[in-house]
Homo-oligomer: A and B are copies of this chain.
């Protein structure tokens, strides 16, 4: 809990952060909790986006002074780690495996996508590497269990999961950006005019053709499914 004993230069010692639990027996009792502060930060990010998560605003949400947060997390970066692990607690970790590892893996990816759409700040927060917290590790354990029938070795299983998560995050990030863009009609119209102008300049024949063709709408859901299936069906077990 205390600020004393901070770790080295970059980031925070994961052992200090995730494995220390004993309440100090001396000193004032905490008025808040890491849980409550993290939840407030998550609620703020859900409602107003990641850039709205400032120490002052989070503190205001829990009714604390800004500097009080530093008794619960050594810095803002760490608060972000706490947030990521906090929402990872929403993911299921048991009793959902069928034994068909491809189907299980696809289900896991779908859950991750839904999860990230529910917390649109997650892809951005995952972009910088983080030390997995307990909830993240529980989910990882679940994913590794799903991969057990593949017979892949440990490192390969971890790789598959990392790549799958990166793929989902990348997809959802694009999906969110595209949705946001189309919600601003002026922006969307301006961009369409711009692209039309480029396509008309004669030096982008392929682009012109691609934009001109009608084609079916291509929902994000369908695109996600298609690429996910490609990725997973292509996985070998040797």
Query: 7 other contacts beyond A141-B203, A141-B206, A163-B223, with CB at 8 A cut-off?
Result: A124-B128, A157-B210, A159-B218, A162-B174, A166-B171, A169-B170, A231-B234
Secondary structure at the A interface, as helix, strand, loop or mixed, is helix
Binds B, one of A6-14, A36-44, A79-87, A106-114: A6-14
Check B128–A177 contact: CB distance below 8 A.
yes
Check A186–B8 contact: CB distance below 8 A.
yes
Known contacts: A11-B187, A234-B231. The answer to whether A213 contacts B166 by CB under 8 A is no
Q: How many copies does the complex hold?
A: 2
Check A194–B19 contact: CB distance below 8 A.
yes
Q: A-side interface residues toward B, CB under 8 Å?
A: 7-11, 13-15, 18-19, 123-124, 127-129, 131, 137-138, 140-141, 144-145, 148, 153-159, 162-163, 166-167, 169-171, 173-174, 177-178, 180-181, 184, 186-187, 190-191, 193-194, 197-198, 203-207, 209-218, 223, 227, 229-231, 233-235
Known contacts: A155-B210, A166-B171, A206-B141. The answer to whether A14 contacts B190 by CB under 8 A is yes
